[in-house]
């Protein structure tokens, strides 16, 4: 009887380990995995003048975030993923520590129109000084953080992805984020259950 119980427990543990090693997560677990700083797709940097958080957003993540929960199925996921797959997407959060501007409106105008000139996307030897998409989300209700959506063209490069914010009017420090290519090539998949 004891041997049977030990066998069942061992079998359950082995099956659990095999399932977790498959690299496929349910939609909710996938979103949580991408947003977990321990997994390397969200990186935080702090300087004397601001705190930055940069979230890399894979195409699958963007697809899931754009879908209604009851519309998530394999066909819809693949169609939405295709919409986002030609670009590298990022969400940059900035929290200024000091106020370098005369007013909140001046800070918002700077973030919306001028900071973009100080952000570089580096992929191997290529440096892109302009984004394909740069959008400051409305700061209403999210102070003291300001959210900026960024997107850059995707290529077949096998280099690490780097994003650099050069010293600027908001922050005299240079900030650099790195996402390793090995991490980006080994993201978990999404398992759609029979919901």
Largest CA distance in the chain: 77
Interstrand relation of 24-25 and 189-190 (parallel, antiparallel or unpaired): parallel
Q: Does pLDDT of 165 surpass 60?
A: yes
**Domain covering 31-58+86-190: architecture:** Sandwich (2.60)
> Which of the pair, 93 or 71, is modelled with greater confidence?
93
Indicate the pTM of the whole model: 0.82
Q: Does pLDDT of 121 surpass 60?
A: yes
Residue 14 CA: distances (Å) to CA of 2, 21, 149, 187: 18, 11, 42, 23
pLDDT in tens, 38-59: 999 999 999 999 999 999 999 9
Rounded average pLDDT over 98-111:
87
How far is the C-alpha of 39 from the C-alpha of 32, rounded, in Å?
10
Residue ranges with strand state E in the chain: 24-25, 42-46, 50-57, 87-96, 119-123, 126-128, 133-136, 146-153, 161-165, 175-179, 189-190
How far is the C-alpha of 71 from the C-alpha of 22, rounded, in Å?
24
How far is the C-alpha of 13 from the C-alpha of 11, rounded, in Å?
5
In this predicted structure, what is the pLDDT of residue 81? 93
In this predicted structure, what is the pLDDT of residue 141? 64
pLDDT in tens, 13-33: 433 443 444 489 999 999 999
Lowest-confidence region among 8-17, 78-87, 104-113: 8-17
* Average pLDDT of the chain, as a whole number: 85
Interstrand relation of 175-179 and 42-46 (parallel, antiparallel or unpaired): unpaired
Taken as a whole, the chain contains a residue count of 195
In this predicted structure, what is the pLDDT of residue 160? 94
- What confidence category does residue 12 fall into, taking pLDDT thresholds of 50, 70 and 90? very low
Percent of the chain at pLDDT > 90 equals: 62
**Measured in Å, how far apart are the chain's first and last C-alpha atoms?**
37
């Amino acid at each position: 009887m004891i041997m049977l119980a030990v066998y069942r427990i061992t079998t359950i543990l082995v099956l659990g380990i095999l399932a977790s090693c498959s690299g496929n997560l349910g939609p909710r677990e996938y979103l949580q995995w991408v947003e977990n700083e321990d997994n390397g797709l969200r990186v935080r940097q702090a300087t004397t003048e601001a705190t930055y958080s940069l979230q890399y957003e894979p195409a699958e993540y963007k697809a899931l975030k754009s879908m209604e929960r009851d519309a998530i199925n394999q066909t819809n996921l693949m169609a939405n993923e295709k919409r986002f797959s030609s670009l590298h997407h990022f969400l940059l959060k900035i929290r200024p520590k000091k106020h370098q501007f005369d007013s909140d409106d001046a800070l918002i105008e700077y973030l919306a129109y001028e900071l973009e000139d100080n952000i570089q996307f580096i992929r191997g030897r290529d440096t892109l000084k302009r984004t394909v998409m740069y959008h400051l989300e409305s700061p209403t209700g999210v102070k003291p953080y300001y959210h900026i959506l960024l997107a850059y063209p995707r290529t077949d490069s096998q280099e690490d992805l780097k994003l650099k914010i050069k010293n600027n009017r908001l922050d005299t420090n240079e900030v650099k984020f790195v996402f390793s290519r090995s991490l980006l090539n080994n993201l978990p998949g999404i398992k759609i259950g029979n919901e």
